[in-house]
Amino acid sequence: MRAARMTTEDLGDKHVTGATIWLTGLPSAGKTTIAHELAERLRADGHRTEVLDGDEIREFLSAGLGFSREDRHTNVQRIGFVAELLASNGIKALVPVIAPYADSREAVRKRHASESTPYIEVHVATPVEVCSVRDVKGLYAKQAAGEISGLTGVDDPYEEPHSPDLRIESHTQTVQESAAALHALLTERGLA
């Protein structure tokens, strides 16, 4: 059984409305960079904010999971559970996680809806050609060299969101512009 949710009166703070902001997209699309930029802006405005980085979650919460469809689904559901728990307690949970499958993302959205917790899905829609040039972690080079397989968007599926709350084309704007667009959406929804 879940503990009672915090209220504005509990915290005495005007920025207690939590939300999950899930940034989905290909590896090296810019998800984490945008999330950290937005987190700084939200914190400066007095919001309690946490970034749930996909790599850190894999290391500490989902260690032992592989990259099969089932394991990826389990990973996304674990992250979704933690994000909803944080958001339901007044924290802006920024989640820059690939989450390649539409059904996994939809299950997370439904969990949030069932708890009446705000959920925003953002598609960082950077083309694979741009991501492979950025190649922050060297994954595209390793895949091209045959050192790894199952790279999302190359030799493993990535199901793009059909109707995200916001689509960001990070290759056509600065990180600050991307974060500002997301901040504007949060403001419009009464979350910033």
For position 4, what pLDDT does the model report?
Answer: 47
Residue 152, SS3?
A: strand
Dump pLDDT digits (tens) for 128-174.
999 999 998 999 999 999 999 999 999 999 999 999 999 999 999 99
Parts of the chain with a pLDDT under 50: 1-14
Q: What pLDDT score was predicted for residue 15?
A: 52
State the Cα–Cα distance between residues 74 and 24, nearest whole angstrom.
16
CA distances 92 to 64, 89, 118, 120, Å, are 28, 9, 10, 11
| Predicted pLDDT of residue 136 | 87
